[in-house]
Each structure stands twice: as structure tokens, then as C-alpha cells.
Amino acid sequence: MSIRTEEMTLNMGPQHPSTHGVLRFVIKADGEVMREAIPDVGYLHRSIEKIAEKVGYHGFMPYTDRVDYVSAMFTNQGWAMACERLGGIVVPRRGEYCRVIAAEFNRIASHLLSVGTMGMDIGAMTPFTHAIREREMINDLIEELCGARLTFNYMRIGGVGWDLPPGWREKALAYLDHFDPIWEEYNALISYNKIYVERLANVGVISTQDAIDYNLVGPNLRGSGFKWDIRKDIPYSVYPEFDFDVPVGTGEFGTLGDAMDRYMVRIREMRESSKILRQALNRIPDGPVLAKVPRNFKPKAGECQVRVESSRGDMGWYAVSDGSAYPWRVHVRTGSFAAMGMINKLSRGLMIADLVTLIASLDVIAPEIDR
């Protein structure tokens, strides 16, 4: 005797605790297996690009924090670099170092949140508290540097808003000494846990070709074994002066490009960021941190596109100037949006419980999808 079954339509989100913000999925499920999951984005759309046309070049800087609130240093840097290219401004070397230091601390903090929530989404609560504890210490450092813990507004057109405070460098180096062993401890706590590995390995496998075809960037692309990092391949700022590796997925726990590979890439990137930070903090030159930029900043008419390697991958900032004090058009291209386009394909044939694993492993941030 066969039981007649029918396809069930489920709604997940927008206020689901494991969707990393306001995200909605329409799931067509056959029992516990998904036929497909259709992402429905747009709940956090705040017309950030349009606001830029109204508030001017300097005034848009705090808004860029809100594009990706978990790694606001990179959005700051992207906008600052776009304006500098439009206006032909050269950032002082100490300013560039300050930017790199702040940005790499932010990358560690962002990845800590990512790997922490990864554990929490699949049911491991303790690793989250460990990750958040470390992130809290980075937040304290950044708070001392620029006065805010999340929406930094640290960078300015032509440099950074604040120089490193006295004694901050030693504190930051002391934190890195504390952080490197913590990384091993975190791996012992959760990364090599057999149950954890079984939940992540062979889930949401993205082949290298698919990752390129679907325009994935950052750790999602590198997790599929493709070595592509803007910091190495299209160098910006002072990154060419630092010695660091680009970790890629190896498929050591299952298939190449599965959720575990993307997770391990983030874990290893934190170690690389720590390496960059040590070099930057030890080599930081003296000098000014901010170039002279008029308060009424009016770049010549033209357009530019800059790319920064954010913690969620290649982030593109496109700005068009018509010679007035307000940008004519601004566009942001973010990694999370590309990752959302992949979810429909990846979800076919996946268990419903694995959808949260998939979302967490792609590390999407809702405001970055919608902007």
C-alpha cells in the first residue's frame, strides 16, 4: 500500500532566528526533503544608494556603515577609495596602515561572528559564547580607536578620522598574542567535533565551476578551491607589502566546496589576518593619517569602480560624479547578494534542517543583500 503524499509549501522567516537577519524563504518540501527553497529578499531595503545622491560625499560615510553592519570598516574603505579615485587624492602612508589595521581587526570580528553563529544555527550553543567573547575584545579595541562598536564611521575621504591612541598598538599586539592560542582552543572545542563535521561535510556542495558561474566571491568562492582574493590579485591600499597566504578549501572532511570547507576557510583566514596585523602594527610608519580634502568636496565629472576584499568577499563600489557636491549615482555590489542567488540551486534535494547550515555557511548578512 502506498501513501499518497503531496508537496508542502513552508514559509521560513522573515523573523526566523537562524536566517541571519530579515530573510524569507518559501520552501517547497516533500516530506523532509526540499524540492526547492526560493529566497525572498528586500525586507531590509533602505535605498542606501539613493541616499548617497542626497547627502554628499562626506555625509554618506556613516551610511556606508549600515550597508554591512558586521564588517563596516570595509564598506567605509570602499566608499573612501571610490571618492579618492574620483578626486585624485593620495592617502598618507600612515593613514593606509591605520586602515589596514582597522579593517583586518574587523575581518577577524566578522569571521568570529560567522563561525560562532554557524555553531549556534546547527545547535551548538557554547562555541557562540566563545566567539562572541573574543569579538567583544576586538570591539573594545575598536571602540577605543574610533568611538563606536559597530557603526564605526572611522575612515574619511583621504585617510582616517582618528590616529591610533597612545598605547593602543601595544594593547592590540597583546590581544593578538592572546588570540592565536584561542584559535587552537576553538578548533578543539568545535571544528574537529565529529558530530559537527558530519553536519557540515557534504552539505551544500558548490563545484569550482558553479562558484564562478554564480558569481560567488570571498570565502564562498575560495571554499570551492578557487584562489581569488582582491588583496592579492588586484592589490589595493598597502596590502602588497604584507606577507600572507590565501587559504582555499581542500575538501579534507568531505567533498570540495561543501559547507565545512567554507567554514574552515573562515577559520584559517582569521589566522592570516592576525599575521597581517602583526606586520602592520610592527611596521606602521610615522606621519599624517589624513590628507587635505576640502569640506566642500567636488570631484571632477567622471566615474569609477573600486573593489575591496570585504569579509564577505569582493565588494564593488561604483560612483558617478557630475562635478557637483553630490554624487550622481552610487552602486554597491556585495557578496551576499550573489550568494543568495545560489541558494535556490543548492537547496534542491537538501534536508530542511540543512538549509540553515547552508545559509550560515554562505555567511549572508541581510542588510548587505538589500542595501
Using CB under 8 A as the binding rule, whether residue 136 contacts another protein is answered as yes
Count of beta carbons in the 10 Å neighbourhood of residue 131: 25
Residue 10 to residues 43, 88, 204: CA-CA distances in angstroms? 18, 52, 20
- Helix (H) / strand (E) containing 16: none
- Residues 191-220 contacting another protein, CB under 8 A: 192-195, 198
User: Closest by alpha carbon to 314, among 243, 208, 239, 215?
Assistant: 215
Count of beta carbons in the 10 Å neighbourhood of residue 326: 16
Residue 331 to residues 51, 178, 315, 318, 342: CA-CA distances in angstroms? 11, 39, 11, 5, 21
Using CB under 8 A as the binding rule, whether residue 126 contacts another protein is answered as yes
Using CB under 8 A as the binding rule, whether residue 293 contacts another protein is answered as yes
Residue of 151, 208, 255, 279 interacting with another protein (CB under 8 A):
151
**Bridge partners (DSSP) listed for residue 330:** 319
Using CB under 8 A as the binding rule, whether residue 63 contacts another protein is answered as yes
Nearer to another protein, 8 or 195 (CB): 195
Classify residue 27 by its DSSP letter. Answer: E
Using CB under 8 A as the binding rule, whether residue 158 contacts another protein is answered as yes
Nearer to another protein, 62 or 254 (CB): 62
Classify residue 175 by its DSSP letter. Answer: H
Nearer to another protein, 94 or 307 (CB): 94
Tell me the window of 32-40, 231-239, 257-265, 284-292 that interacts with another protein (CB under 8 A).
284-292
Q: Measured from the CB of residue 58, what is the shortest distance to another protein in angstroms?
A: 7
Locate 353 and state its grid cell.
534542517
Residue of 22, 28, 44, 56 interacting with another protein (CB under 8 A):
56
Residue of 170, 185, 245, 252 interacting with another protein (CB under 8 A):
185
DSSP string, 208-254: HHHHHHTT--THHHHHTT----HHHHS--TTGGGS---------SSS
Nearer to another protein, 291 or 320 (CB): 291
Q: Measured from the CB of residue 203, what is the shortest distance to another protein in angstroms?
A: 17
Using CB under 8 A as the binding rule, whether residue 165 contacts another protein is answered as yes
Residues in touch with another protein (CB under 8 A): 55-56, 58-63, 94, 126, 133, 136, 143-148, 151, 153, 156, 158-163, 165, 185, 188-190, 192-195, 198, 286-293, 295
